[in-house]
Amino acid sequence: MLFGMQEAHRGMERMRGYADPSFPSVIDMKKRENGEVEAAVFGRPVVAGDLGEKQETIRELKTFNLFSRLGQLFADAVTALMEMLFSLVGRVLD
């Protein structure tokens, strides 16, 4: 997706005929003198620590989704049980 956005940005520059500094590049990568690579997405620097935090957040979301799914299954089971009980009570009363 970011690659497509970068290509659209380049297309806009070609269409205008000049690079507008008020529109930052989608992905910007520069190599420092010490050999490290500096990356920025939408003008915001990306650091290796950010990636670790994002991976941890994704793990937490997956765990949350597991518990959410279990809760949903439990609620569906209780709903089906109650519908069955009401149906049986309705038949007995008729």
**Each residue's pLDDT tens digit in the chain (94 positions)?**
556 666 776 777 777 776 666 666 666 777 777 777 777 776 777 766 666 777 788 888 777 788 888 889 999 999 999 999 999 998 888 7
Domain extents in the chain? 2-93
Q: Per-residue DSSP letters for 34-45?
A: TS-EEEEETTEE
CA distance 24 to 6: 10
pLDDT at 27: 66
Please tell me the pTM assigned to this model: 0.37
| Closest-CA residue to 61 (of 47, 53, 41) | 53
* Alpha helices (runs of H) in the chain, residue ranges in sequence order: 2-16, 48-93
